[in-house]
Amino acid sequence: MSTVKRILWLTVWATLALGVGTAAHAKLNIVTTTSELAAIARAVGGDLVEVKAIARGDQDPHFLEAKPSYMSAVNRADLLIYNGLELEIGWLPLLVQGGRNPQVLAGQQGNLDASADIPILEVPSGMVDRSMGDIHPLGNPHYTLDPRNGLIIAEAIAARLQGLSPENAALFSRNLKSFQQELQRHIGQWEARAKDLRGRRVVTYHKNLEYLASWLGLVVADYIEDKPGVPPSPRHIAELVDHMKRDGIGVLLYANFQDATAPERVAAQANARTLALPISVGGEPEIATYIDLFETILGRLEKGFGGR
């Protein structure tokens, strides 16, 4: 073989070897619908994944616009992780359709409904129609606000990553174990801190704090919305204020992306205190991880119930 041919062959083989090496070390591209799912996916995937959340932590995930940039992200995804229970019903189907990515279609390895193994609260037992407000026929979708469900979600993500990248299965398993151990340790600490909250009665704005209340033992006595997703009537507000005065309910909770006008008005009339809670990772600048989220929520509740 001539020197020129030998150099050409070496160049070809080096190029092929470089391509194989790059592919072997390429990161999995994960798109999640919410920032909580993104935070858990990052913890489990570690350095082997790139993760993009569609909804920011300071946005209401019920109401997003299906932007072309989101469709482009879905198009490039190896794995799409979504909350499910119709939380994203108004925009996710449009993103999947516009993304034109067969890997993330329902039933494919790249499609993960994070709610699949979660014990769901408030599943309606009868017929559901729009006259009842924004009722989710599959149950309450805000399950990430119980950190015990984070353990379940992490396990599902790890299993799916292991299927997509079996050569890295051991690393995903180690990351999962580390995340679950840390989260379980914090859950024990949070539950000990929250023992004085158990049985405390609160009013909330919307039915998005049920999992948090169930975990901590808070009793949701009433809502600012008389129907989920429907602005309250003056009559309902007056009845709510009377209820809070009569039963001595002194704390009103709402998500920090919700308009504070109605909570502040009700609290002023009922001689109560409002607490705006971040309910998503990234909901406030210092909340970068799933554990940060609950540290912030517990601190806010402890301060808000002080002296109540």
For the chain, give the mean pLDDT: 91
Domain containing residue 208 = 198-277
Boundary (domain end) residue, out of 131, 160, 189: 189
Q: Please report which residue ranges of 139-260 form alpha helices under DSSP H.
A: 147-164, 169-193, 210-216, 234-247
Domain match, 112 and 242 both? no
DSSP-derived secondary structure for 211-224: HHHHHHT-EEEEES
Boundary (domain end) residue, out of 158, 189, 220: 189
Domain match, 100 and 221 both? no
Domain match, 55 and 182 both? yes
Domain match, 158 and 258 both? no
Domain match, 112 and 169 both? yes
Give the residues across from 81 on adjacent strands: 32, 112
Q: Average of pLDDT values for 282-304?
A: 97
Domain match, 137 and 19 both? yes
For residues 273 and 305, give the distance between their C-alpha atoms in angstroms, rounded to a whole number.
9
Domain match, 114 and 222 both? no
Domain match, 223 and 184 both? no
pLDDT in tens, 79-113: 999 999 999 999 999 999 999 999 999 999 999 99
Domain match, 21 and 60 both? yes
Domain match, 207 and 176 both? no
Structural domain total, the chain = 2
Residue 252 forms part of a structural domain: yes
Say which CATH number the domain at 37 has: 3.40.50.1980
Does residue 288 register a pLDDT over 80? yes
Burial of 155 (0-12, 13-18, 19+ CB in 10 A): middle
pLDDT in tens, 222-238: 999 988 888 899 999 99
Boundary (domain end) residue, out of 171, 189, 207: 189
